[in-house]
Amino acid sequence: MLCEPLQIMVLVSTGMHSLTGRPCRASLDAQAIELALQQVGALIEVVNAGNAGDSEQSALRDYLGMGIGQVTVLKQPEFSDPVSALAQYVNEAEPDLVLCGEQAEWGEASGLLPYLLADQLGWAIVPHIAGLVGVADGHIELLQALPRGQRRKLLVKQPVVVTINGAAPQARQSAFLKARDSTINLLEFEYDSEHESGLELVADSELPQWQLQPAKQRPKRLKIITAKTAAERMKAAITVTPGQAGKVLQDTSPQQATEAILALLREEGVLK
């Protein structure tokens, strides 16, 4: 092939199993790896920023089991900000495309990291991506997932940070042998900025001060009744709203019934 292979970097985080709460692969990040693996002839590098403890390593093994060969870990102490370290690493690696999930599964889970990364690097950021259509002379064509199952095509200048929506292709299973035999590269960095090649670490000063507590159940509002007087409340209780009693067409010909149905569908705007 004449053209250079597409260089894809996938940023992964540690997920949380929805049932047991144990560390595992994050589903959106796994979908990002799946999307990268589906690109024929692309060079893939998987990067994680974390403290690389035992639990995190077991989660990383889940990613390795997808057949990516190795994963690079930028080792950081707890409560440190991964953005600057990642930005520096990505800037040196110079990939064409950075993929990551939209939101983490635990922790602050603000979904801000890709935006901060793109802002620091001066790259474009495109959220809610469900697929890659193609690459052409420094531009990349992406498929963005919209509500109601709709899709939008976007042409974006490389390099670009892309966040993956749940509508992207489902991640493949993790294979035990591949997970066991693959390698985890640890890159360690320290807080002092003496050696210039090392990545600078920034501590997150705010997060430790926040109070983490079990989520409170909040009542869900079902219906707003703004009646102030007893008469209004009585009226609201006894009147039949149009939604409760629909129109019934009985003893009509199929053609008339069809016309009525199609008219309603056109009125709702679902029929083109």
Partner 1 sequence: MTKVFRRDPRHERIQRNRLHPLHLVNQSQASVASSGTNPRTNANVLLSSRLPLHRVDNPEFYIVVVPEMSGGRLTSADKDMLGLAQQLANGGLAHDRMDGQKIEGPIFEDQAPERCGAVLAVVFTSIKDDRFADAGVDRLLDLSLFVGEGYQPEYQLALLLQAEKQFAPRYWLFGDQTMNSADLGRRLAARLDERAATGVVEIDDNWIWCRAGQSGNEYRRPHERILLVAEQIADPVSNYRYQASPVVLDVLVREVAAPEMTPSVQPKIEDLGLVAVDPGSVYLVEAEFVLAGGNGVTDWPLFHQVATALGATEGASRVAVDDGNMPRSTQVGASGTLVSARVYLAVGISGAIQHLQGMTHCDTVIAINLDPGCAMVSRADLSVIGDSSKIMQALVDSINRGESESRVRELTGFDREQAKEKWDDAV
Map the footprint of partner 1 across residues 199-238, applying CB under 8 A. 206, 209-216, 218, 220-221, 224, 226, 229, 231-232
* Residue window 110-129: x/- pattern of binding to partner 1, with contact defined by CB under 8 A: xxx--xx-xx---xxxxxx-
Amino acid, res. 84: S
Count other Cβ atoms within 10 Å, centred on residue 16. 18
Q: Are 36 and 172 in contact (CB under 8 A)?
A: no
Q: Which is nearer to partner 1, 2 or 222 (CB)?
A: 222
Task: Please state the closest distance from residue 264 (CB atom) to partner 1, in A.
Answer: 5
* Nearest residue (CB) to partner 1, 93 versus 109: 109
| Interface of this chain with partner 1, residues 10 to 39, rule: CB under 8 A | 16, 18, 21
Under rule CB under 8 A, residue 143 binds partner 1: yes
Identify whether the C-beta of residue 164 lies closer than 8 Å to the C-beta of residue 145: no
- Of 32, 46, 68, 104, which lies in the binding site for partner 1, with binding defined by CB under 8 A? 104
Closer to partner 1 by Cβ: residue 192 or 268: 268
Shortest reach from residue 218's CB to partner 1, in Å? 7
Question: For the residues of 6-40, what is the DSSP string, one character each?
Answer: PEEEEEE-EEE-TTT--EEE-HHHHHHHHHHHTST
Q: Among residues 47 and 87, whose Cβ is nearest to partner 1?
A: 87
Nearest-angstrom CA–CA distance, 159 and 154: 14
Tell me how many residues contact partner 1 (CB under 8 A): 78
Q: How far is the CB of 217 from partner 1 (least distance, A)?
A: 11
Closest alpha carbon to 151 in 137, 165, 140: 165
Of 18, 19, 23, the residue nearest 50 (C-alpha): 23
Between 139 and 180, CB nearer to partner 1: 139
| Stretch of residues binding partner 1 (CB under 8 A), selected from 51-59, 103-111, 177-185, 195-203 | 103-111
Nearest to 26 by CA among 63, 73, 79: 63
Sort 151 into a burial class: Cβ within 10 Å, 0-12 / 13-18 / 19+. Answer: exposed
CB of 51 to partner 1, least distance (A): 17
Strands 183-188 and 70-75 turn out to be parallel
140 touches partner 1 (CB under 8 A): no
**Least Cβ distance, residue 150 to partner 1 (angstroms):** 6
Least Å from the CB of residue 116 to partner 1 = 5
Answer yes or no: are the C-beta atoms of 93 and 45 closer than 8 Å: yes
Q: Binding to partner 1 by residue 250, rule CB under 8 A?
A: yes
Which pairs count as long-range contacts for 132-140, CB under 8 Å and 24+ apart, including other chains? 132/35, 132/38, 132/39, 135/6, 135/96, 140/96, 140/97
Contact segment (CB under 8 A) with partner 1 among 45-53, 171-179, 183-191, 258-266 equals 258-266
88 contacts partner 1 (rule: CB under 8 A): no
Please, what is the minimum distance in Å from the beta carbon of residue 32 to partner 1? 17
